[in-house]
Structure 1
Amino acid sequence: MAIVPLRGAQRLVIATDSVKKNVTRILAKLDLRDRVQLVILMRDIEFQ
């Protein structure tokens, strides 16, 4: 389940741009292309 930047920002009480930048950094550190790959990775980790 992905949280769109606006909803994520509202829940965390931070700027939408901050959410976008942090998600981009996480994807880069994990060498992932997009959020879909992140969700798949998290699902695979959860089922191990």
Structure 2
Amino acid sequence: MDDLVELLKQGFILYQKNGKIEAEVPPTFGSVALHFQDGRFSYLQRSETKK
């Protein structure tokens, strides 16, 4: 549990997929969208812009 809190403090995005907690590094410039279907996580869409 402490590991998850530490990841959140570092700015990671946490989500559950297939019963497992996954971590996604946020982009420096861009966006991350979590998509759900029937109330369940379906997929993560990441868009990054390079400057």
TM-score above 0.5: no
Normalised by the length of structure 2, the TM-score is 0.27
Higher strand share goes to which structure?
2
Higher helix share goes to which structure?
1
Larger-gyration structure (1/2): 2
Normalised by the length of structure 1, the TM-score is 0.28
